Chain A
């Protein structure tokens, strides 16, 4: 069309032609962006706004049921759940418990396996990575058998060594930590993989130079490797804080159902349990909004922190 206008309008003033061209130039990027923008609006922003709207209604998704506006009732209901506050506290414990397993341990493994001979390193990291590819529900079912207080292998071994059997999933003081370990057990492989890649990416000449200057192994780790790994480490820390409690969901669902006495529940499980299991759109949307705002604020702070703290090679 531009060409047609151009040939037909050859007698017109060049100014008009230029104006059409600049208008086109201004429109074209939007044209190219439009599929993405449309997708974002349809799949992300519109549902987000709709969730805000629905959180003020009571509805069970049935076409025959009325959509009743209830004001802030859904939020009040959620905040007055005794379990909500317990779950919020537990979420903090989940994150605190997962950080060493999802960040510190993999960091150590990544650094210390880096010097192994290639074949041994592959085998070693392969073994660590395997739990990652086991489906969570399958893993949970297997752990349930292993941890059974009566006839589970873990407890049988503990008994052989003269310890009293532990009720890993039934004791309110242990259940949360059991699930933390199971979640961490699956995450170690993933974090190790990422940290190994980052570690292998460190320019070897830096390490060579340090060695020539007489730095010990520990000094190389402390002064070269760790600072250069800091952005990856911070990324993993942020992932764990924002998503760690979510990763334990399937274990909670299969193994404890949040119990005993709500000791192993977390914010995601409680909100899912009270909202989604009965398709209460109002409860679920209010829960989603609370999570969105809460973790949004947390993510904002973390991003600012990462920008400040992390150290880049060049």
Chain B
């Protein structure tokens, strides 16, 4: 570390401790990075072995080559730990300059970790130019209380993967995958009875699952996790209970396997499960397992009867955490690069997420050829049009609320008791952890 970086680190430390985002105003940051600067970038793809990490490293190297004054210090932290790590490092006064933050921590990130709103630091014209071509639904994911705090980066939608070979064996038509949960039950039963495999597995429950799939599931039945004023938890509404009762029914009829996250993924890749509802981000892994083994296909998330499916995204946004103007500029340059057409081509084709810029899908210069060869991406793209934001819970206990809710839902589905009671108990317990209860 040379004296300049030491000095700038010191300056940013001091600024980080003093400055609040409210004091910054538009056009505050320099137009260019004139002198060498190093920014730290926390990223969870870097923490994964294999393709996600490699592709991210490649993108960082390309960015550094294009911006010789900016050095990016990429730090890999797993997705489950990245918020805790950012929090710990901010607490220690050495937070990251740019972080890839999971959407469920958004409220906390804005209110407690001092994430910087783009509108506060980037000139309006420049911001507008970069937002050109970004899917409006995708852009909305990073908006909080009227300001853009994050740009959706690696995000995906829930996809129903299915094993076409098992479908044929069970006498089902792989051209017509089930579209509703009732159809899922029929198909899963056929797979269990006739093909001798597991019917359906999901990534809804489990220690590392979070609540994103669950939110999409109950929302599709007309429920929500949180009231509009963000004060009352509502996941144990009649619709919410109906949704988990449906899963309980699947489980009780022996067609829904309670596998943990990695076991379910392994089983699907090994060809022993008929259907698998999970983020499209696992596509690369499943494709590898299916190759030469079985035919892997994908469909959209099942809906309830004739209600529209209302999935929310999984994944993360890029957020600027630095309060130093020069570093903010460098961070913004990195953010622009990572959400460019080129970067999204790499992210979509190599890691398996959604392109935030839908105009590259049919552009032969970018994803055009690849999309033709990879029909698995189609359900994911279809759902981008109906995507809704992943709700994050307010207050200091936001994580405990998620855990309590998911424990209750898991109990409702697999616990064998009354789903309504499990959900209502969980809601009552979690409501006590909401900030309003503190006042």
Contact = CB atoms under 8 A, between A and B. Distances in A.
B88 A279 contact: yes
A17 B259 CA distance: 82
Contact of B403 (A68, A73, A149, A273): A273
Nearest to B87: A279
A227 B258 CA distance: 49
B260 A82 contact: no
Contacts, number: 94
A259 B87 contact: no
Contacts of A172: 414
A92 interface: no
A263 to B, nearest CB: 10
Interface stretch (A20-28, A54-62, A187-195, A298-306): A54-62
A258 interface: yes
Contacts of B20: 64
A80 interface: yes
Contact of B415 (A68, A81, A257, A261): A261
A186 interface: no
B60 to A, nearest CB: 28
B432 A80 contact: yes
B152 interface: no
B107 to A, nearest CB: 13
A280 interface: yes
B365 interface: no
Contacts of B53: none
A81 B207 CA distance: 17
Interface footprint category on A: 35 or more
A170 B259 contact: yes
Interface string B53-84: 00000000000000000000000000000011
Contacts of A62: 87, 90-91, 112-113
Interface in B347-400: 396-400
Interface in A275-300: 277-280, 283
A60 B396 contact: yes
B325 interface: no
B284 interface: no
- Consensus secondary structure, chain B interface: helix
B84 A278 contact: yes
A81 to B, nearest CB: 7
B266 A64 contact: no
A260 B88 contact: no
A201 interface: no
Contacts of A225: none
B88 to A, nearest CB: 6
Contact of B260 (A259, A273, A277): A259
A150 interface: yes
Interface string B252-264: 0000001110010
B238 interface: no
Contacts of B208: 257
B145 to A, nearest CB: 18
B260 A260 contact: yes
A135 B189 CA distance: 43
Question: Among the interface residues A61, A151, A278, A283, which one has the most CB atoms of the partner chain B within 10 A?
Answer: A278
A255 to B, nearest CB: 9
B432 A257 contact: no
A48 B113 CA distance: 28
A277 B399 contact: yes
B438 A58 contact: yes
A203 to B, nearest CB: 52
- Consensus secondary structure, chain A interface: loop
Contact of B438 (A64, A70, A257): A70
B429 interface: yes
B84 A279 contact: yes
A103 interface: no
A277 B266 contact: no
B432 A256 contact: no
B258 A170 contact: yes
B283 to A, nearest CB: 21
Given A60-B396, A280-B397, A262 B407 contact: yes
Contacts of A256: 207, 260
A117 interface: no
A151 B270 contact: yes
A274 B270 CA distance: 34
B246 interface: no
Contacts of A283: 400
A261 B414 contact: yes
A212 B144 CA distance: 87
A61 B414 contact: no
Contact of B272 (A77, A150, A169, A261): A150
A81 B438 CA distance: 17
B400 A280 contact: yes
B17 interface: yes
Contacts of B438: 58, 68, 70, 73
Nearest to B426: A82
A81 B404 CA distance: 8
B415 A274 contact: no
Interface in B180-231: 206-208
Contact of B112 (A64, A169, A258): A64
Given A150-B266, A274-B400, 19 more contacts: A58-B396, A60-B87, A60-B91, A62-B87, A62-B113, A63-B93, A65-B112, A73-B438, A81-B429, A150-B263, A150-B272, A170-B258, A257-B208, A260-B258, A260-B260, A260-B410, A261-B414, A277-B399, A278-B83
Interface pairs A-B: 9 shortest CB-CB? A257-B207, A278-B399, A61-B91, A62-B91, A279-B87, A60-B396, A274-B400, A65-B112, A261-B415
Interface of A: 58, 60-65, 68, 70, 73, 77, 80-83, 148-151, 169-170, 172, 256-262, 273-274, 277-280, 283
20 contacts: A60-B87, A60-B112, A60-B396, A62-B87, A62-B90, A62-B112, A64-B114, A65-B112, A77-B397, A77-B433, A80-B432, A170-B258, A170-B259, A170-B260, A260-B410, A261-B414, A278-B397, A278-B398, A278-B400, A279-B87
